[in-house]
Chains A and B, each alone.
Chain A
Amino acid sequence: MQPTNSILKINNIEVKYHEVILVIKGVSIEVPEGGIVALLGANGAGKSTILKAISGLLKHEDGQVTDGSIEFMGQRIDRMPPEKIAKMGIVQVIEGRRVFEHLTVEQNLKVGAHMRKFGRSIKEGLEMVYHYFPRLYQKRNETAGLISGGEQQMTVVGRALMTSPKLILLDEPSMGLAPLLIHEIFNIITRLNAEEKISMLLVEQNAKLALNVAPYAFVLETGRIVMNDTAEKLRENPDIKDFYLGMTDLGGRKSFRDVKHYKRRKRWLT
Chain B
Amino acid sequence: MDLLLMTLTTGIMVGGIYALVALGWVLIYKCSGVLNLAMGEMTLIGAYVSLSFYSMGVPFLLSLLFSLIIGFILGILTERIFLDRLIGEPVLTVIMVTVGLSFFFKGTVEFIWGTDTRVFAPPVFSIEPVRLGPLIIGEVYLWSFVAAIILLVVFVCFFKYTRWGLAMQATADDEMAALSVGVSARFVYAAAWAIAFMAAGVGGTLLGNINGLNISVGYLGLLVLPVVVLGGLNSVPGAILGGLIIGVLQNFCGAYLDRYFPGGVKEVAPFAFMAVFLLFKPYGIWGWERIERV
Is A61 part of the binding interface, using a Cβ–Cβ cutoff of 8 Å? yes
Contact A61 B179 (CB under 8 A): no
Counting chain A CB atoms within 10 Å of each CB, the highest count among B169, B180, B291 belongs to B180
Contact A83 B291 (CB under 8 A): no
User: Given the interface contacts A86-B182, A111-B170, A111-B183, does A98 sit within 8 Å of B291 by beta carbon?
Assistant: no
Q: How far is the CA of A48 from the CA of B23 in the complex (A)?
A: 38
Using Cβ atoms and an 8 Å threshold, which residues of chain A touch B170? 100, 103, 108, 111, 114
Q: How far is the CA of A12 from the CA of B185 in the complex (A)?
A: 29
CB distance from B290 to the nearest CB of A (A): 9
Contact B173 A103 (CB under 8 A): yes
Is A94 part of the binding interface, using a Cβ–Cβ cutoff of 8 Å? yes
CB distance from A262 to the nearest CB of B (A): 37
Using Cβ atoms and an 8 Å threshold, which residues of chain A touch B176? 57, 60, 94, 98
Interface size on B, residues (CB 8 A): 23
Q: How far is the CA of A64 from the CA of B12 in the complex (A)?
A: 52
Is B167 part of the binding interface, using a Cβ–Cβ cutoff of 8 Å? yes
Is B87 part of the binding interface, using a Cβ–Cβ cutoff of 8 Å? yes
Partner among A60, A98, A114 whose Cβ is within 8 Å of the Cβ of B166? A114
Using Cβ atoms and an 8 Å threshold, which residues of chain A touch B166? 103, 107, 110-111, 114
Report A159-192 residues with CB < 8 Å from chain B CB. 159-160, 162-163
Contact B183 A114 (CB under 8 A): yes
Using Cβ atoms and an 8 Å threshold, which residues of chain A touch B182? 82-83, 86-87, 91, 114-115, 163
User: Given the interface contacts A60-B176, A101-B173, does A114 sit within 8 Å of B181 by beta carbon?
Assistant: yes
Is B288 part of the binding interface, using a Cβ–Cβ cutoff of 8 Å? yes
CB distance from A192 to the nearest CB of B (A): 16
Using Cβ atoms and an 8 Å threshold, which residues of chain B touch A163? 181-182
Is A55 part of the binding interface, using a Cβ–Cβ cutoff of 8 Å? yes
Using Cβ atoms and an 8 Å threshold, which residues of chain A touch B173? 100-103
User: Smallest CB-CB separation from A55: which chain B residue?
Assistant: B180
Q: How far is the CA of A145 from the CA of B294 in the complex (A)?
A: 11
Chain A at the B interface: mostly helix, strand, loop or mixed? helix
Counting chain A CB atoms within 10 Å of each CB, the highest count among B167, B170, B175, B288 belongs to B170
Contact A100 B183 (CB under 8 A): no
User: Smallest CB-CB separation from A60: which chain B residue?
Assistant: B88
Question: Contact string, A55-69, partner B, CB cutoff 8 A, digits 1/0?
Answer: 101001110000000
Contact B179 A82 (CB under 8 A): yes
Is A32 part of the binding interface, using a Cβ–Cβ cutoff of 8 Å? no
Report B272-294 residues with CB < 8 Å from chain A CB. 288, 291, 293
Using Cβ atoms and an 8 Å threshold, which residues of chain B touch A160? 180-181
CB distance from B84 to the nearest CB of A (A): 12
Is B184 part of the binding interface, using a Cβ–Cβ cutoff of 8 Å? yes
Contact A114 B163 (CB under 8 A): yes
Question: Contact string, A116-144, partner B, CB cutoff 8 A, digits 1/0?
Answer: 01000000000000000000000000010
Report B170-224 residues with CB < 8 Å from chain A CB. 170, 173-185
User: Smallest CB-CB separation from A101: which chain B residue?
Assistant: B291
Report A79-107 residues with CB < 8 Å from chain B CB. 81-83, 86-87, 91-94, 98-103, 107
Using Cβ atoms and an 8 Å threshold, which residues of chain B touch A92? 180
Is A22 part of the binding interface, using a Cβ–Cβ cutoff of 8 Å? no
Q: How far is the CA of A149 from the CA of B175 in the complex (A)?
A: 20
Contact A94 B163 (CB under 8 A): no
Contact A57 B179 (CB under 8 A): yes
Report B72-87 residues with CB < 8 Å from chain A CB. 87
Contact B177 A94 (CB under 8 A): yes
Counting chain A CB atoms within 10 Å of each CB, the highest count among B163, B167, B169, B177 belongs to B177
Q: How far is the CA of A82 from the CA of B185 in the complex (A)?
A: 10
Q: How far is the CA of A110 from the CA of B169 in the complex (A)?
A: 12
User: Smallest CB-CB separation from B182: which chain A residue?
Assistant: A86
User: Given the interface contacts A114-B166, A146-B291, does A60 sit within 8 Å of B174 by beta carbon?
Assistant: no
Q: How far is the CA of A61 from the CA of B176 in the complex (A)?
A: 9
Using Cβ atoms and an 8 Å threshold, which residues of chain B touch A41? none
Contact B167 A98 (CB under 8 A): no
Q: How far is the CA of A92 from the CA of B174 in the complex (A)?
A: 14
Using Cβ atoms and an 8 Å threshold, which residues of chain B touch A162? 181
Using Cβ atoms and an 8 Å threshold, which residues of chain A touch B181? 86, 91, 111-112, 114-115, 159-160, 162-163
Contact B293 A98 (CB under 8 A): no
Report B105-136 residues with CB < 8 Å from chain A CB. none
Contact A98 B183 (CB under 8 A): no
Using Cβ atoms and an 8 Å threshold, which residues of chain B touch A143? 291
Contact A61 B88 (CB under 8 A): yes
User: Smallest CB-CB separation from B174: which chain A residue?
Assistant: A98
Partner among B177, B178, B184, B293 whose Cβ is within 8 Å of the Cβ of A145? B293
A-B CB proximity, top 5 nearest: A86-B182, A145-B291, A100-B173, A98-B177, A83-B184
Known contacts A60-B176, A94-B180, A114-B181, then 14 further A-B pairs from the complex at CB < 8 Å, ordered by chain A residue: A60-B179, A83-B179, A83-B182, A86-B180, A91-B182, A93-B180, A94-B176, A98-B174, A100-B170, A100-B178, A107-B166, A111-B166, A111-B181, A146-B293
Q: List 7 A-B contacts (CB under 8 A).
A: A60-B175, A81-B184, A91-B181, A102-B169, A115-B182, A145-B291, A160-B181
